[in-house]
Chains A and B, each alone.
Chain A
Amino acid sequence: MPKNVFCKIISNLKIAENIYSMNLVGNFENIKILPGQFIHIKCINLLRRPISICNVISENCINIVFEIRGEGTRWLAERKVEDSLDIIIPLGNGFNLNMSGKNPLFIGGGIGVPPLLFCTKQINGNAILGFNNIKKVILENEFNNYTKNKVIVMTNDGSYGIKGLVTDTLEKSIKNYTSIYACGPKLMLKEIAKLAFKNNIFCQISLEEHMGCGIGACLVCACKVKTNNSYIYKHVCRDGPVFDAKEIFEF
């Protein structure tokens, strides 16, 4: 059940171009946080800002990694250590790691990488992390710390790691995997889903959408979800943000 918690910022570091990593300490007693869930942060604006949980450091400390996208996240980036933050935690449904099989693969694109880190803390799996360029690369060391498996870093322009798109690597190696967990730009998720369907591999994706309440009451964060013969609108905050790729994409 989500709770409104006032927490304290104990660190706020710039880790890449416009990207910040922040540790928050608060009373998270009796709050079970699953990989893929998010928090809703009161910034300077009217609406809160949904940010995925990157890691649970300890019983009372979580880590978030976010990119400056507008005035809300800019305000957040400017917060100092010891400042307090009003958050709602935890929100949404996490990844279903029980369906991973023997060889799960985690694929993150850009600022979609953070929620997958917490997954690799729970189960071992290879990871493919894609970024636009070297200035945007995040969390490579953290992934390597949690998993003994392979962590492949790619950039679109080849300025770091392997040059190309995450799907280039996925296409060559997909037969090795029993499941895929992905978060990133919708176009990337679509291409991943296409390969997963073709190879009949379980695939879950995490979506984002502009949100209002964040708890399922206002119905603004709609996304089209397949039913038998048609579509219905589900809501990213309450029904997601993690969906089975089969619910979202059709080929």
Chain B
Amino acid sequence: MKENLNCNICGINFKNPIITASGTFGFGREYSNFFDLNFLGGISVKGLTLNPRDGNMPPRICETPMGILNSVGLQNPGVDEFIKTEIPFLRRYSTNIIVNVSGNSIEDYCRIVEKISNSDIDIIEMNISCPNIKAGGMAFGTSESMVYEVVSNAKKYSKKPLFVKLSPNVTDISLIAKAAENAGADGFSLINTLLGMRININNRNPMLANIIGGLSGPAIFPIAIKMIYQIRQISKLPIIGMGGISSWQDAIEMMIAGANIIAVGTALFADPYVPIKILNGMKTYMKNNNIININDIVNTCVINND
């Protein structure tokens, strides 16, 4: 019996539920030296903006217990350059292209969603939760009314499934998710990084030039599980789950919590082959547990009340 890893998300077929997370995988070129990108269910590309962005001053990274803080600041070549040079490269592979987009205003989001909708991509991941840019970004993702406003407007310009990437830096993520769903979101992507800061005790300088940054890696995994579980209780929309996955066990756990597909990010820095290892481990888990269809494990957390 062959394990079925196919997932259907908003009418788009994923050959398996493993994608790479935005910001950790560039546009796929660098990691294509290590493994065949055809192995991936999809690739979420480095966050794009309408115009090219230089990004923040270095240092942009510091290591923390079981995690990293980053403040890249959305350095990217702009959406037009992406469409011209990166889509043709990615389309050489049979893997879905998930395009992560950010803006400084509602107008920005509408324009970039419109532009990218008219290109050959599969899903738009609307980033309303970037902690590393001054204007916009996370500001849109932390208030219900702003989320409703920006998503409902962007939705008018979207011809592709529109996923909203949610910030964990909120009091109640399910309220934000509900606002996005009411505004017409086709799915959720979560979690983005958690805000954090470190200080060098010798010179007392912040370890990041931007002072604060976004925490990722295994340190945030339990938070991601909790938030995905929370949203799964109140919504039937598809969820791309991410946050600290570094093994196939983590991937399975996140799907049990309610994610339909999962993204691996920071773990790639330690091991470029981690998506392949997750894929193999997932198959073995299915075999050992008589699971024929991977979708059967989604949202199957068992709560014993006795």
Interface flag for A187 (CB, 8 Å) = no
The verdict on A222 contacting B24 (CB below 8 Å), with A1-B33, A47-B269, A216-B30 known, is no
Interface flag for A215 (CB, 8 Å) = yes
How far, in whole Å, are A215 and B268 apart by their CA atoms in the complex?
Answer: 11
User: Which residues of A (221-244) have their CB < 8 Å from a CB of B?
Assistant: 221-223, 231-233, 238
| B55 pairs with A222, CB closer than 8 A | yes
CB distance from A51 to the nearest CB of B (A): 16
Closest to A45 in B: B63
List, in ascending order, chain A residues with CB within 8 A of B67's CB: 46
CB distance from A1 to the nearest CB of B (A): 5
How far, in whole Å, are A218 and B60 apart by their CA atoms in the complex?
Answer: 10
Binds B, one of A103-111, A115-123, A204-212: A204-212
List, in ascending order, chain B residues with CB within 8 A of A223's CB: 58
User: Which residues of A (157-192) have their CB < 8 Å from a CB of B?
Assistant: none
Interface flag for B17 (CB, 8 Å) = no
Interface flag for A88 (CB, 8 Å) = yes
Total A-B residue contacts, Cβ distance less than 8 Å:
94
Interface flag for B218 (CB, 8 Å) = yes
Interface flag for B273 (CB, 8 Å) = yes
| B270 pairs with A48, CB closer than 8 A | yes
CB distance from A215 to the nearest CB of B (A): 4
Interface flag for B129 (CB, 8 Å) = no
Interface flag for B223 (CB, 8 Å) = no
Closest to A72 in B: B63
CB distance from A208 to the nearest CB of B (A): 11
| A46 pairs with B61, CB closer than 8 A | no
| A46 pairs with B269, CB closer than 8 A | yes
Interface flag for A101 (CB, 8 Å) = no
Interface string of B62-85 (1 = CB under 8 A from A): 110011101010010000000000
How far, in whole Å, are A15 and B70 apart by their CA atoms in the complex?
Answer: 35
How far, in whole Å, are A216 and B30 apart by their CA atoms in the complex?
Answer: 7
List, in ascending order, chain A residues with CB within 8 A of B63's CB: 45-47
CB distance from A28 to the nearest CB of B (A): 16
| B58 pairs with A232, CB closer than 8 A | no
Interface flag for A139 (CB, 8 Å) = no
| B54 pairs with A48, CB closer than 8 A | no
Interface flag for B26 (CB, 8 Å) = yes
| A212 pairs with B61, CB closer than 8 A | yes
Across the A-B interface, the 8 shortest Cβ-Cβ residue pairs: A217-B26, A220-B61, A217-B30, A220-B60, A215-B30, A222-B58, A213-B269, A216-B30
